[in-house]
Structures are given as structure tokens and as C-alpha cells.
Amino acid sequence: MNFKHFITLFSILFVAFTMKGQEDVTFEMRLSKEKLGINERLRVEFTMNKDGDDFVPPDFEGFRVLMGPSQAISSSWVNGVRSYSKTYSYTLAPTARGTFNIKQASIVIDGKTYKSLAKKVEVTAAVEKPNGQMTVDDFADDNLHLVAEVSKTNPYLNEEISVVYKLYVSPSIRVTNYRPLDNPKYNNFWSQDIPVQRLNAENGTYKGKAYRYVILKRVVLYPQKSGDLDIEPLSLDVSVDVPTNKRDFFGGRIYTQTNKTVSAGKRTINVKDLPSAGKPINFGGAVGEFDFTVSTTKTSLNASESLQAIVEVSGKGNLKLFQLPTPELPSSLEVYDPEHNENVRTTLAGMRGNISDSYTIVPAFKGKYPMPSIAFSYFNPKTEKYYTVNSEEILINVLEGPTNTSAVPSGSTTNSKQSVVTTGKQFSFIKLKPNLTAIGTNYFFGSKWFYLWWLLPLILIPLAVLFRKKREAIALDVEGNKIKRANKLARKYLSKAKKTLGQKDAFYVALEKALHNYLKAKLKIETSEFSKDKIAVLLNERKVDETTKDGFVALLKNCEMARYSPFSDVQMHQDYDKASEVISYLDKQL
């Protein structure tokens, strides 16, 4: 190499190193996606164009680190210019739904600290086909499946369907633990969970292959709206032992543990509206197969005695989601508000049992009073037809008692006036001689009233001191005052619910607010965002008895059900009385 070539090469190197020293330092965070399902994976990369030290990653709140950090370095020369890149990579799995903030990472380059910009990531419900899903072990993906088996995908409105969630596990892997990540919300459905007492593994097939499966969750649904309704997916985080290619000293296969997120996938139910052709005028929303009876405890009695008239529906269907017909009785019979009774058992096949309204009737006068026939209509989804059942007319015979003299025969009127005969003694009650007597002279001083008023201030002074101390103690009790204000607010809403009796929507909105404000007052927590299941668990933790807890949850269910089903004034009065009773029992236990 001659001197001229040496000078040229030196100039090129000098320019390259000068440009390298002048280039800007970059340090940035890159996400594989900004919106993903809870069953997908997120890749996060921190890239810099110059080597550095003391790299500090963020805490990745809302995510679990599956892999990382892994490093990748790239260096090249192009036209005498060097390009350098160093990347720290992480593979993350979301732990819950919501919007999460991946905070800043930092690194020291040439003695100077650089920080990346924070970015937001939205985690949605599980998706059916995750894009670019990465798992620790692909073997687990092919051998672990969560399936939601729906009994019927095109039911009628208010016809029962069941959903059974099964976890299929291949014999080649082992499941050691699982926990739910996202429980589905059954919007526009009346729902009830059927508890799974024991997890029993059974043999089965999935897509033609032999599997073992476990039933994790069972639920019965009654659609309250026609059209396409979505059932959100159930998602689980499952710990799995997966076999590796390594073997131990005795030749046994060595397993490694990994975590996998599985989802049952979203299911769409096409709910058919009830046919309008042939729908009876008195149809109240009953769907199923029912028997209808009307009976009385007695048909002969005396006036002022009582009897019970029982209107009952039994069978299989949406027994808790419709109102019983109301009997029409003569005005001479005093009829009290009915007592509603339910004997209903809910299984995977739906509701079975009976419901009844028991009316207390008290006749006031002697006579015979007919109880007219009552009609009850329902829709049978199996035959796809409406049916109407009519009860027999019942004659109530009142044997002894006063005669109803105010009864006027049909077609007759009474316009005659009775003449008034004066006897000359009609003003004899006026006394003309008052027979007044003189009152003796009494003195106030020295009397018992004088000494009583004289001692009264001495009695009131200690009472005033005690009252003042009590007021100070109340003022210092901050938590107690908060509870009193919350109780006052609950009474306010319960009072509003009472004022809106007869207005279904306004009544149940006010009743639901009163129930939540009561729990807020007693437990010092915010319950408006709690589901019925969470509230039931909370009351169990407070050792509330089953009857009171079930009554409170049932009231919340009625408040939700009132948005989609017709409710009578009788049911509103029953729910109001039940709310007062349940709150009274909770007060004693909490």
C-alpha cells in the first residue's frame, strides 16, 4: 500500500468515526400490538442504537413474564458507516382485562441516563383465534382445551338452556392447578349456577382423540330478550406439566411446568320471539309445561271466619319469571294481599316445582258467593303452541252472619224519602238550669306545684350535663356519624321506593340503590360495582345465615329481572316488605 492509498483510507475512517460520535442516541420501547385478548401474548422490545449499562425494565403491572429478558445485538458496516442495535425482549401474558400502562424503562449510555416512553395496552375478552399467540410450550396448546357445551343455540324467549364448561386434558400432560381469569357475564339472561360438588375426571373424546375431561362450571340460562345474544367466554390460567425429551436415571420422562391461558370462546345464541299467532289475551309470559289449579281450604263457613283461596301453578318452565293470575271476588268478601310461596328446584334441565299465591278471605255477611273461573295461559316450546287452562267455579256458602241490607236488587232503585215527625221534645237535651257552684280559693305558694317548680332546675342541671357529654361523644365518633349518614341515605331510597309503588322501573331502581347503600353503610365498602355472587361471598364472610343472605340476593335478582319482565303491584309490595325484613335481620347479625 503506497502513501496515497493510506491517506485515503485514513480519511474514510476518520469521517466514519466522526459521524458515529455525532449520531443521536435512541432508546425506545416497541409493542407487538396495543390491543389484545386475554388469551393472547404480548411481545415487548426495548431497542437502543448504542450499547449501554444498568438496564432497568418496568414492573409490567397487569402482566406475567413468560420469557425474557433475551438480548439480541446487530452490528454492520454499510459504505463505511457502522449501524448498531441492541434489543431486550420480553414475552408477556395478561392477567386480567382492562387498560394497563407499561411504564418507562431506563438505561445508562456514556454516563447519561435514557428513558423510554410509557405506552398503554388494552386487554379485551378472549378471542377465538389469537393472532401470533406464543406459549412456553406448543405441546400444551395441542393437548389442553376448554369447551362450553350449550344445550340449545336457538331457544324461544324464556325457554331454558344449559351451559356446561369442560376442561379436556390429553393423557400425555398433567394439570396441577388452575384459576379463573375472566368469569362470563350473562347479559340479557336470567342465570343460576349449578354448583359442582366434586371435580371428577371422566373419559371422553375431543375432535376424534381420546381425552380426559373435568366439568368445571354449570349454569342454567333463561333468555330475556329475542335476537342474537352473546355468552362471554370463560378464561382460565392453567398450570400444566408437559413432558420433555429428557429422561431421568431410571429412564422415566422428565416433565417441566408451564402456564397456559385457555378460553371457551364466545358463543352466540339466536333467541326466537314467541309467536304472535294464537297468543291468548291473558298470556303473562309463562313458558314450559304446567298444571294450573285453584282451590279453597273450605267452602262453608260463618261470617267473620276466614278461608284460604290458593292459586297454584306446577310443572317445568320459567316458574320464577311470571305472575300468577288474580281471582276476581265479590265486593262483599274482604280479601287480603296474597302470600307468595315458591317450591322450585333448578337443575340443568331447568326449573321444576310449583309456585302459589294464597289469599285470605273473610266474608262479612251471610249468603252464597261464587268464585268465578280463572284462566291461565302458557306457551309450550316443545309443541310450539299456546294452551289455556280454566279453573272450576267455586261457590262459597256463608251460613251464619248478618244480612247485607245495603244490597239492592238488580234493576230497582230507591228514591223515597222518610218523613220526619216532630214530637216537641227534640230540643229536650238543652239544659236551661246549669246548677253552678262556687269554686273555693286556692293559693299557689306553699302548694305541691310550688315546690315542684322550685326543685325542677336542680333536677335539670345534671340532665343537661349528661346531654352535653353525650353530644360531644357523638360528635367525636366520626365512623359512627358516617354510618348514620349512610343509614339515613338508605332510608331515603327505601322511602322513595315506597312512594313509587306501582311504577315498576322507578320502584326497582330506588330499591336497588337502597340495598347497595345499606351494605355500604354497614360494611364500609363500595358495593355498587359488586355482582350478586361477590355480595353473597361477602355476606358469607360476615357469617350471615343462609336465609337472610339468600333473601338479600333474591331482592337484587328481582331488581335486575324487573328490567325485562312484567311485575305486578302485589309483587312490588312483597319485595318492599321483604326488603324491610331482610335489612332488619342483617342489622341483628352485622
What string of pLDDT tens digits covers the 590 residues of the chain?
Answer: 555 555 555 555 554 544 444 457 888 898 888 888 888 888 898 988 888 888 889 988 889 888 878 887 877 776 667 778 888 889 888 998 899 999 989 998 888 888 888 999 999 888 776 655 444 456 787 788 999 999 999 999 999 999 999 999 988 888 888 888 878 888 899 999 998 888 888 898 888 888 999 999 999 999 999 999 998 888 998 888 887 767 776 667 777 888 888 888 888 999 999 999 999 999 999 999 999 999 999 989 988 888 999 999 999 999 999 999 999 888 888 888 899 999 999 998 899 999 999 999 998 888 899 999 999 999 999 999 999 999 999 999 998 878 876 654 433 333 333 333 444 444 444 555 666 666 555 556 667 777 778 788 878 888 888 888 888 777 776 666 656 655 665 566 677 777 777 777 788 888 888 888 777 777 767 666 567 777 788 888 888 888 887 888 888 888 777 766 666 777 778 888 888 777 777 776 76
Burial 89-127 (b: 16+ CB within 10 A, else e): bbbbbbbebeebebbebbbebeeeebebeebebebebbb
pLDDT of 415: 38
Rounded CA separation 50/276 (Å): 74
Specify whether the CB–CB gap between 517 and 496 falls below 8 A. no
Rounded CA separation 193/70 (Å): 45
pLDDT of 522: 72
Residue for grid cell 398503554: 120
Burial 397-427 (b: 16+ CB within 10 A, else e): ebeebeeeeeeeeeeeeeeeeeeeeeeeeee
Rounded CA separation 459/454 (Å): 10
Specify whether the CB–CB gap between 15 and 22 falls below 8 A. no
pLDDT of 218: 93
What phi and psi values does residue 28 have, to the nearest 5 degrees? -140, 160
Rounded CA separation 548/555 (Å): 11
Specify whether the CB–CB gap between 145 and 206 falls below 8 A. yes
| Rounded alpha-carbon distances, angstroms, from residue 119 to 63, 100, 402, 494 | 14, 9, 86, 46
- The CA dihedral of 219, 220, 222, 223, to the nearest 10 degrees, is 40
Best CA proximity match to 264, nearest among 181, 325, 337: 181
* Bridge partners, 44 (sequence order): 31, 90
Rounded CA separation 158/564 (Å): 11
Specify whether the CB–CB gap between 501 and 569 falls below 8 A. yes
Residue type at 469? Answer: K
pTM (predicted TM-score): 0.48
Rounded CA separation 62/56 (Å): 18
Residue type at 547? Answer: T
